[in-house]
Amino acid sequence: MATVQVSLPLPVLPEGWTAEKDFKPIGSLSAANDRNIEPVGHHFLAHARRKRHKRTFSEDDRIQAQANVKKVEDEDDGEISEPEDPLMLQREAKDWKGQDHYAVLGITKYRWRATEDQIKKAHRKKVLKHHPDKKAAKGGTEDDQFFKCIQKATEVLLDPVKRRQFDSVDEAADVEPPSKKDTQKGNFYKLWGKVFEAEGRFSTNQPVPKLGNDKSSKEDVENFYNFWYNFNSWRTFEYLDEDVPDDNENRDQKRHVERKNQNARRKKKTEDTIRLRKLVDDALALDERIKKFRQAEHAQKNKRRLEKEAEQKRLAEEAEKAKAEEARLQAEKEAAEKAEKADSKKAKEAAKNAAKKNKRVIRAAVKDANYFHASGDAPASQIDAALNDADAVIVKLDNEQIAALTAKLNGKKDAAAITQVFKDEVKSLVAAGKAQEGELKSLS
Amino acid sequence: MSEGTGPAQRVAIGISFGNSYSSIAYTTGEGKAEVIANEDGDRQIPSILSYVDGEELHGGQAKSQIVRNAKNTVAYFRDFLGQEFKSIDPTAAHQSAHAVQHESTVAFKIRDTEEEKENEVTVSTITSRLLKRLRQSASDYLGKQVTAAVITVPTNFSDAQKDALNKAAKEAGIEVLQFINEPVAAVLAYDARPDAKLADKIIVVADLGGTRSDVAVIASRGGIYTILATVHDYEVTGLKLDQVLMDYFAKEFLKKNKSATDPREDTRGLAKLKLECEAVKKALSIGSSANFSVESLVGGIDYTATINRTRYDLLGNKLFAAFSRLVLHAVEKAKLDPLDVTEIILAGGNAHTPKVASTVGAAFPETTTVIAPSTNPAAINPSELPVRGAAIQASLIEEFDVEDIEQSTHPMVTVTPHLSQAIGVLCISGDESSGVFHPIVDAETSLPVRRTAIIATPREGGDVLIKLAEGSRHIKVTKPEPKPKKEKAEDDSDDSDEDESDEEEELREKTWKVGKILSEAAIRGVKKGGKVEVQINIGADLGVNAIYREVGGKGGVRGIIQGGKAANGSA
Ligand SMILES: Nc1ncnc2c1ncn2[C@@H]1O[C@H](COP(=O)(O)OP(=O)(O)O)[C@@H](O)[C@H]1O
Ligand SMILES: [Mg+2]
């Protein structure tokens, strides 16, 4: 065997690849098939020599070896053929147009579904049985009418064009649409499925979509009906043609029949198209899935509407709530402000009262300090001046300072100490620029 | 015949015994198969015997007796041998001696002696007599008594049929060394040519004979052949092609001779018509036209006409198309795609017809080679393929002991495991970084097997990785861009046909899908421009023994993948 030459390069060894002795087994071979090799040629003989090693094989070995060998020859399936109806055996070959070719070959269970292979097998089965030589051997007559029927059936069914012509008018393959009543008994898919399968045999486009069942998707169902509403049929009606006279004498007559046939074919074709459309209409009308899908669609629409409404309501409620909250906060704020206002008024009043009181204390302190007179009863002028100056101090002080001054004076009875407090106060007023040096004479 | 003739004294030939024709061939000292012409100069000898006043005629002479002496002429009987009467199709033999039931088997009622009486001669006896004639012709030609033969049979010949043929041959003084399958003999005929190259191929042998057509799909792997699928058909036949011409000429004749009887309704007329039509058909294989000429076709009217090849191609079109469907069907049965088929060997007499080759060729991609006289001037005569294969096989085993042959053709030897997947290496290609599978051993290769591959390395050399993997063939289908719709033709009536022919063909290609990874190995330091040699041995137990080395380099890597299967005869 010649060496295989591979011109595509091998891949570079990946970084870090290692294996013991540079080889790594990974998987094992898929199972092999036992087959028979042909015992011919010198390559085979070389194989045989190697394999035999001077061994002899027993019958057992032989059986063992062949146990799983793949078969290449077909087994004869006796199944294909059906027995003949005795009436059919009496048919005349010249009436071949009226014969059911599938029945003649014994394949009525297949009809338009029969493959070329099945037709050939069926034909052979019938030939083996009905060839006139077989009948002659049985001492029968030389009657070969049925044999000719078999030949004719085979000729038609093995010719794709002729077969289509026959299949087009093979009523035995038709499946009548079920009545509305039958359909409504819950057998829609079973009954109509068969109808569509049978109608599908005329389809130019294959495969034909299946009717499906109650679990089919909406898409499949829509495809199905679309397919049938756009059906492309190869069905033809030539097979029912009136025979055209075969002689050249009567040209006009010939042309007349031909025209008649053409018209008849066209008419039948139109009728068939109408028939099929009605059939699809009927099925569609009875198809529960269509209703189901429509309802589902409705429900879907409704659901969407309800959802929208609910959302709106929720939004409105939310807005309402927000508004109420805002109002509440506003009210709270106002109340707080009011309260605050009220509080500060009170405080002011209190301060005012306190100030009044303090002023009284201060004035009293002036008296206690003997009007800042050194000793003995103070003259009236001194009293006036001291009281004026005390008032002047008070005026220059705010309430807090007054309170502070009051605090300093509180409890002091000693005239000198009191006078000193006053003097200090004046000093700090002067320092603060609130009084002139010597402005308050009684305290300077 | 005594069993005594030892291998040393054997004179062995190849015999192809067909329903319509038989041939004989021997292998020369240089190992070349030669087909022997009989005393009439025929290499295709009609498988027919005819008896005239006790004299036995054979071949072409017997064939011409079908016109005058149909009742005592036996033809198209090969497939009756070893069969029960109830399971034979007597159609082809209907125009000569009819098949009759003899016990449960088949016989013919013929006057085969000088006596004025009919004898029931069994099909076994007829076969034996025919083989005797073939043996005689070969012996006369070779100048020594032929004693043994390899005989070809259809792949669906049952053991009972082979037993019957074996007995008949023995009666005729022929020791059957081996029965070999017709399509395999055809492949052998090609592979035995000195310029033949051994390659892994899928070969389809498509045989369009006289009474049947047979298709076999064969995996050819290193000179070992395995039949993957067969198809047999009794509707697409040479006789049917003859019939097409018979109908044509009969109609033409009737046009000219309006009041004459239909020659097909007249026994002799029919026989003459048939003989001439076969001759016309053969003439059309070489010439572009042929003459039909029969004296006194019917009612004393002579008839001559001509037909050109184009007309015949048209008349036979349905049958040619049906034949090419059979070929496709066989490929499908083998679970293969037309793209898998390397070559189609057309066999059987009708393979001479150019239209057969062109019709089959059109059904397959361009990568499939159709081998027939009209497509390839080097093609072997398709009528001679089986007999040449048989002669070659005969020369190979001529000197074997019977015991030896029996042992070698034993299922213990012939049943072997075959790879279900191809085995190969992963290479780098421009776009696919993951690696491209390149097969080294194809699927359907019989085990054990040894194969060697030489693989390129990256431009700079260096360390390389060799991944051994299984691969499965995959058909990649590319749909063509939909063409913009052509403007509607004025005439709507034929638009469905148009749609079909308009449809562009999809592009189909054979690609590989990487399957199981079997092993990894490294070859280090490959020289710039170096190559790596991989040798794989796969055992019947599915164990793999692989040796990797740089071509011209030292050392190498050896690896073993354990097998699991307890294989047939692997011990
Ligand atoms: N040169 C030819 N051209 C066309 N057809 C041929 C030619 N030679 C033989 N045949 C046809 O081939 C058929 C015989 O095929 P063959 O393989 O020889 O026989 P068998 O039927 O015995 O297998 C017949 O139908 C015959 O007419
Ligand atoms: Mg043949």
Q: Which residues of B479-496 are buried (b: 16+ CB within 10 A; e: fewer)?
A: eeeeeeeeeeeeeeeeee
Mean pLDDT for all residues in chain B:
92
- Contact criterion met (CB below 8 Å) for B360 and B206: yes
- Contact criterion met (CB below 8 Å) for B560 and B544: yes
Any atom of ligand 1 within 6 Å of the Cβ of B16:
no
Main-chain dihedrals φ then ψ at residue A72, nearest 5 degrees: -110, -20
Q: What is the DSSP letter of A233?
A: B
Q: What residues of A are in contact with residue B524 (Cβ under 8 Å)?
A: 13, 22
Distance from the CA of B58 to the center of ligand 1, in angstroms?
Answer: 17
Strand runs labelled E in B236-368: 289-298, 301-308, 343-347
Q: What's the pLDDT at B498? A: 44
pLDDT tens for A6-29 read: 999 999 999 999 999 999 999 999
- Contact criterion met (CB below 8 Å) for B24 and B83: no
Q: What's the pLDDT at A181? A: 85
Which one of A75-84, A383-392, B302-311 scores highest in mean pLDDT?
Answer: B302-311
Tell me whether strands B213-221 and B201-208 are parallel, antiparallel or unpaired. antiparallel
For residue B436 the two structure tokens come to 């491209």
ipTM over 0.85: yes
Interchain proximity A41–B520, CB inside 8 Å:
no
Round the CA-based radius of gyration of chain A to a whole number and report it: 62
Nearest CA to B165 out of B145, B179, B181 is that of: B179
Which ligand gives the minimal distance to the CA of B350? 1
Q: Does the N-terminal peptide bond of residue B484 adopt cis geometry, omega within 30 degrees of 0?
A: no
User: Which H or E element spans position A77?
Assistant: none
Distance from the CA of B352 to the center of ligand 1, in angstroms?
Answer: 8
Distance from the CA of B213 to the center of ligand 1, in angstroms?
Answer: 11
Q: Which of B226, B453, B457 sits opposite A3 (nearest CB)?
A: B453
What percentage of residues in chain A have a pLDDT greater than 70?
96
Nearest CA to A351 out of A393, A398, A307 is that of: A398
Strands in B544-550's sheet, in edge-to-edge order, are: A4-6, B449-456, B531-538, B544-550, B557-561
Mean pLDDT of A281-307: 90
Q: How many angstroms separate the CA atoms of A184 and A98, rounded?
A: 37
Q: What's the pLDDT at B431? A: 59
User: Could you tell me the end-to-end alpha-carbon distance of chain B, in angstroms, rounded to an integer?
Assistant: 40
What percentage of residues in chain B have a pLDDT greater than 90?
86
Best probe residue, ligand 1, of B21, B24, B44, B237 (max atoms within 8 Å of C-beta): B21
For residue B543 the two structure tokens come to 């164990």
The CA distance from A31 to the nearest CA of chain B, in Å, is 7
Low pLDDT (below 50) residues in chain B = 1-3, 488-501, 567-571
Q: How many angstroms separate the CA atoms of B309 and B325, rounded?
A: 22
Q: What's the pLDDT at A140? A: 66
Nearest CA to B10 out of B164, B172, B175 is that of: B175
Interchain proximity B224–A37, CB inside 8 Å:
yes
Q: What's the pLDDT at B497? A: 45
Nearest CA to B149 out of B185, B119, B123 is that of: B185
Task: Look at A54-68, A183-197, B121-135, B309-323 and tell me which has the smallest mean pLDDT.
Answer: A54-68
Q: What's the pLDDT at B571? A: 35
Mean pLDDT for all residues in chain A:
88
Main-chain dihedrals φ then ψ at residue A115, nearest 5 degrees: -85, 165
Q: A residues 128-147 near B, CB within 8 Å?
A: 128-129, 131-134, 136-138
Main-chain dihedrals φ then ψ at residue B160, nearest 5 degrees: -65, -40
Q: What is the DSSP letter of A173?
A: G
Q: What's the pLDDT at A322? A: 95
